Amino acid sequence: MPTIYIDNKPYEVKAGKNLLEASLSLGFDLPYFCWHPAMGSVGACRQCAIKIFKDEKDTNGKIVMSCMESVKDGLRMSITDSTAQAFRAQIIEWLMTNHPHDCPVCDEGGSCHLQDMTVMTGHDYRRFQFKKRTHINQYLGPLIHHEMNRCIQCYRCVRFYRDYAGGDDLNVFGAHHHVYFGREKDGVLQSPFSGNLAEVCPTGVFTDKTLKKHYTRKWDLTAAPSVCHHCSLGCNIIAGERYGKVRCVVNRYNSSVNGYFLCDKGRYGYEFVNSVNRITEPLIRTLPVEAVDEATLMNHLKDLVTLYPLIGIGSPRASVESNFALMQLVGKENFYQGVSGDTAYLEGRMTDLLQQGTVHSVSLKEIESADAVLVLGEDIWHTAPVMALAVRQSVMKTAAAQATQQNSLAAWHDAAIKELVQEQKGFLANITILSSPLDSISTIAMRNNPDNIARLGFAIAHLLNAGIPAVTSLTEKEMHAAKHIADALLHAQRPVVITGNSCCNEALVKAAFNIVQSLSTPQRKAGISFVFPECNSMGAALMRASSFEAAAERVRTDNNCTAIVLENDLYRHVPAAKADAFLSQCKNLVVMDGLHNRTTEKAHVLIPAATFAEADGTLVNNEGRAQHFYQVFMPVNTHIKESWRWLGEMKTMQAKASNGLQQHPDEWLAKLEITLPQFASIAKVMPPRHFRINGQAIPREPHRYSGRTAMYANLGVSEPKPLQDDDSPLTYTMEGYAGIPPSSMIPYFWAPGWNSGQAVNKYQHEIGAALREENSGICLFASKTGALQFFKDSPEAFVPRPGKHLLLPQYQLFGSGEWSMYSEAISELVPEAAIILSKKDAADLGAVNGTLIIIEKNDFQYRLPLVIHDELCSGIVLASAGFHGMPALPWGSWVKLNV
């Protein structure tokens, strides 16, 4: 490790870094704007100036930009040099000549990088006598607010939006001191990562528009570390609350999962917590609403859980604790997964393959550093957006690594590397049903139907491993592609194959598994990633319960059951007729959920369940990584409780005593480990609830939290006792441990002098790497060596059937998903539900764009307008999936279409 001298003190630093990164890693406060740990340096803002010296005798030195200078052994630099300090102060003063005087009404205020840096350099008085430049703002859609006056021209926004995230509708216009960052004309930002602009922008040009509607400063938020519930990736988030409402969601850095960025669904999909559609009171159908208090409810439930046989329907969106609590209450053999048989089978299959341990399930971080990626069938842009972002980074980084092999350019040298790379790309083969924005960076982009994609996968596997039978009758184009892909994967060191269950096709999973197993050698670290449909699909699948169909069969034969449905709208998972039949055949139906839906309408007893913000729990993401989310706030309405707490109380009634029963998440997890060995070591995901640092708990509120004695003074002038959190080491006060808490329990990023989210620098042991003593979640799959088994049953080539079409789901980032729709901003962006057909099929039906098409299967009928897509294979029909209010369609089956 090279040694550098900062202000004449020697420090050991990591080679290959620049001086800015090295200084920040060492804990120095050095101001910067244009540099971003995920995006590298361009040396545009001139803010991070330091002085470097030729040798120890050199007293003059020269000013350089620390972000543009590599670490060299024996290098001498000064941060505190008075000329360098004056230079930095002057840069800020110049930037401030045009920065408006609107911090009081700026949403960035209090978490503003520009404020922090201005204070850091010491600039405090405006000497400039002349006028300020002004700009007209643009409408950028419902997610991002634009206030162009505040711009300091650091170029971070366009570097993130265009270079990092691949968007093309935000750009820089104009010249000299008139440069303008915006769109060509007003309009909604198209990138699904646009929300990150609010965090990337060092000042308030781009701010969170949903936060603006119920604005609260960062210092006033009661915040807790949480995990995003909108897809299976389990991105880490921080949710903030004030006055009983969730106000905003920001990124929580986790080096193995989401790094610095979130997708817009994760960032803006929180408002369902504040929805008027929340279930707030327990309800017993036979009693009037006001007659049901907690005692009545518990008495009623006591009869239901002790006098009748119990069955439990779990949920892929409820936490592991809640699912397990239900399993404990009803008994293992009476516990069913709340998803259809087909989904349960496919998810079980994917889980089995990962559990075998012969293939490595990759994290998002590993996808980012992959050097060849193959996507089979899954439309990750819509089903796992942050994974798509990671794939994009893999393509860009691989290209950069190839280009810099010949010279000594360091990886952080962003602009220089872009010049060198030009249009060169790393290897990505994106083989999907419909085109995706990833195609523009793909080496191979092919459209096909799932069976043929799987056949292509099998052909690739055959080329990699002769033991797998060859696929016959491939077209020449497919054969050529298979060879190209196999060749690229073979030459890669860290190839990754991605697929999932959105094509409802098992052969795809088998093909991906074959490829990765063939590629895995001691020298080559090949990885696989399966995308799951919901946030805890993997956790639910790991419980190995039967599917919904088995539960339906059970109530058909035994009509005296009490069924407990846990946080699950069955109508989204199974056809309405089946769900109706099941719900009507249950003698007693107890439903617990956060929001009203079609299943809760049928409940005989309805119990209000806490959403992610009001609950503690654990989720297992698509990789098999268990992550804990903490309660953000305790609802004032004491009826709203975590499902596992309700179920625990029911269990106590059933067992007649609470001795030895679980009451807290850590106890549930400990019990889970013992009961189901596949969850071994999951309890390490959170420290015991009595965990304290120096005897102190971790405060959810920053030390500047305001208004304690006035917030609820209108209700009663005497302040109530602070809320007690018995379930976790976090507290509901601003008092407690003031240092850096363990990485999985960081409620907000803040460091002295660093109020913005950039304070994350101080939490990392090295810039851009893991957090200090990072607990990035518990991976439930250990790699094992064993006899490699390959699948040899490649599917038959897809043949369209006359008069029938294969129905497949088409997911949309905005629209699919049960709860993100309750965010007003997201609901504005949802495209219209539609079915998609190829030109030929549409012509055969005599339909044009917009014609209403009826999907028919047996008695089932559903009508949607048509959109014609040229690239879709004939014989297939795609329909919008998971939209609000839409029933579960018979995915993966052959349906009849009528005009």
Partner 1 sequence: MGLVFLHLFRKKETIQYPEEKIKLHPRWRGRIVLTKDPDGGERCVACYLCAAACPVDCIALQATEDENGRRYPEFFRINFSRCIFCGYCEEACPTYAIQLTPDFEMGEYNRQNLVFEKEDLLINSQGKYPGYNFYKVAGMDAGVKEKGKGINEEPAVDIKSLLP
Residues that bind partner 1 (CB under 8 A): 100-105, 109-110, 130-137, 147, 149, 173-176, 178, 180, 212-217, 219-220, 243, 704-711, 713-714, 716-718
As a whole number of angstroms, the distance between CA 240 and CA 691 comes to 23
- Nearest approach in angstroms of CB 276 to partner 1 is 18
Which residue number, 209 or 455, has a Cβ lying nearer to partner 1?
209
CB neighbour list of residue 527: distance below 8 Å, 6 or more residues apart: 359, 360, 361, 362, 366, 367, 370, 494, 495, 496, 497, 516
Q: Sort strands 3-6 and 9-12 into parallel, antiparallel or unpaired.
A: antiparallel
Which residue number, 186 or 352, has a Cβ lying nearer to partner 1?
186
102-119 per-residue burial string, b: 16 or more CB within 10 A, e: under 16: ebeebbbbbbbbbbbbbe
- Nearest approach in angstroms of CB 828 to partner 1 is 18
Which residue number, 56 or 173, has a Cβ lying nearer to partner 1?
173
Which residue number, 499 or 731, has a Cβ lying nearer to partner 1?
731
- Nearest approach in angstroms of CB 601 to partner 1 is 34
CB neighbour list of residue 9: distance below 8 Å, 6 or more residues apart: none
Q: Answer whether 891's CB lies under 8 Å from 342's CB.
A: yes
In 3D space, the residue among 161, 382, 316 whose CA is nearest the CA of residue 878 turns out to be 382
As a whole number of angstroms, the distance between CA 162 and CA 441 comes to 13
Q: Sort strands 495-500 and 527-531 into parallel, antiparallel or unpaired.
A: parallel
3-class secondary structure per residue, 329-344: HHCHHHEECCCCHHHH
In 3D space, the residue among 746, 880, 765, 753 whose CA is nearest the CA of residue 813 turns out to be 880
Which residue number, 30 or 250, has a Cβ lying nearer to partner 1?
250
The order of strands in the sheet holding 625-629 is: 617-620, 625-629, 778-779
DSSP per-residue letters across 654-719:
HHSS-TT---SHHHHHHHHHHH-GGGTTGGGGS--TT--BTTBPEESS-TT---TTTTTTTT-SSP
Which residue number, 240 or 314, has a Cβ lying nearer to partner 1?
240
- Nearest approach in angstroms of CB 738 to partner 1 is 18
- Nearest approach in angstroms of CB 226 to partner 1 is 23
- Nearest approach in angstroms of CB 186 to partner 1 is 13
Which residue number, 149 or 358, has a Cβ lying nearer to partner 1?
149
Which residue number, 93 or 666, has a Cβ lying nearer to partner 1?
93
- Nearest approach in angstroms of CB 274 to partner 1 is 14
Burial class (CB in 10 A: 0-12, 13-18, 19+), 43: buried
Q: What count of Cα atoms within 13 Å lies in the side-chain half-sphere of residue 686?
A: 28
Q: Sort strands 860-868 and 805-810 into parallel, antiparallel or unpaired.
A: unpaired
- Nearest approach in angstroms of CB 733 to partner 1 is 12
Q: Could you count the other beta carbons within 10 Å of the beta carbon of residue 81?
A: 18
Which residue number, 690 or 708, has a Cβ lying nearer to partner 1?
708
Q: Answer whether 233's CB lies under 8 Å from 384's CB.
A: yes
Question: What type of residue is 724?
Answer: Q
- Nearest approach in angstroms of CB 433 to partner 1 is 41
- Nearest approach in angstroms of CB 121 to partner 1 is 21
Q: At what angle do helices 320-330 and 643-655 cross, to 10 degrees?
A: 20
Which residue number, 101 or 477, has a Cβ lying nearer to partner 1?
101
- Nearest approach in angstroms of CB 160 to partner 1 is 21
Place of tokens 């349960």: 344
Which residue number, 336 or 748, has a Cβ lying nearer to partner 1?
748
As a whole number of angstroms, the distance between CA 31 and CA 24 comes to 9
